[in-house]
Amino acid sequence: MGLWAWGINHKTASVGLRERLALPAERRSEVLRSIQQRTGVSELAILSTCNRTEIYAHGPGSEHEWLRWLVEERQLPLSELTEAAYQWTDEAAVRHMMRVAAGLDSMVLGEPQILGQMKSAYQDAQTAGTLGQSLNQVFQQVFACAKQVRSETAIGLNPVSVGYAAVVLARQIFSSLEKSTALLVGAGETVELVGKHLREQGVRHIHVANRTLAKAEVLAEALGGGRAMPLSDLPSALVDADMVFCSTASTLPLIGKGMVERVLQARRYRPMLMIDMAVPRDIEAEVAELDNVYLYTVDDLEHVIADNRKAREDAAQAAEKIIAERTELFVQQRRSLDAVDTIRALRSQVEEWRVQELERASLLLGQGVAAQEVMDRMSRALMNKVLHQPSVSLRSWAAAGDQAGLAYAQELLGLSSAREDA
């Protein structure tokens, strides 16, 4: 088949190595053309995310060539790359690409973002002119497989991240999130993910409080222009907040029982949902004792996540079966194409013989030879030419006692499997 995949990921390489191999989107077309010129491989694409960098290629190539290019391009130790890299070829490469696109090889099982990243890799290769017919066919099968996995399994239905689980919990408590005001305390990755999920759920008022005001302003703007504030403004910000999501690196609680008591009084005791995703805690445990406050910690969320992770693992088994079937079907289709050149050559040869014998027959007819005799000569001559090489091979196999070869020839020629003795 000539297909292969080379790469590193979160399971084989450190964060530092992954960072050094990551390719910014604006450079990928340039890098693709550079690799193509250096290695001579005509078809290739690159998938680069925070958790993996993989090269997909069709054509001659070796791990040594890629390692040498990367060592020189990124100034990396050869030993470090060798220990972290993996390479798959042909059927195994197809299966690997399908597993990646379906989210089965991700840090978070079943996460959907990887499919979009795989499609970006495909588009980058198109732009660079390094996506040939063979690699294009592989990508189309990979995308079709990922779509089938998403539509026929529950691999992506159950939240397995703290951020998403927090928003799902909020949706269960509030009948309408759209009318609620959310306060995010912190501006890290977890809080940012919560904010994105809240926006997807239709929450329009999302405010951000953070120790560094500039970071709060960037996140608030990204989430639709909510109010950004320093942590010192927490007491007043809590008054308007129906939902509070906390995840900071503070070593001491930022929100205490007394603060929340005063906030509830100012809110006229309207209910508040408070989800503390930080370790150590951002919210004092005693806050849970207050009426009209629903306080959940990261441990509460982990119970939800554990149940959902089990559901995804069950779905992953069904996804693996789909991938195995898709891979086998694609490989069979590709293998059948290997016979095309042979069939074309055979037809060309027989057509050449047919034309030759037809010309001889026309000449004989012109000389006055009877039509029946001409037809007989032509058919015998054509038969002898068609059967000459098979007959030579059959005699050779028989002389060598090659029963497997004889059986294969009988199947190929459509003959009976054995001759009955008289």
Q: Which residues are catalytic?
A: 50
Helices (H) and strands (E) in the chain, counts: 16, 10
Handedness of CA 260, 261, 266, 270 (dihedral sign): positive
Q: What angle do CA 46, 49, 50 make, to 5 degrees?
A: 145
| Chain Cα centroid distance, residue 419 | 54
Q: Is the dihedral of CA 16, 21, 24, 25 positive or negative?
A: negative
Tokens 């055979």 belong to 346
Place of tokens 């639709």: 224
Query: Rounded distance, CA 412 to CA 210, Å?
Result: 75
Tokens of 241: 């907040």
CA distance linking residue 164 with residue 197, whole number of Å: 7
CA atoms within 13 A on the CB side of 322: 24
Pinpoint the alpha helices (H) of 176-297.
189-200, 213-222, 234-240, 257-266
Query: CA-to-CA distance for 376 and 354, rounded, in angstroms?
Result: 14
Q: How far apart are CA 385 and CA 378, in angstroms?
A: 11
Peptide bond into 280 cis (omega under 30): yes
Structural contact between residues 118 and 135, judged by C-beta atoms closer than 8 angstroms: no
Give the alpha-carbon dihedral of 199, 205, 206, 207, to 10 degrees: 170
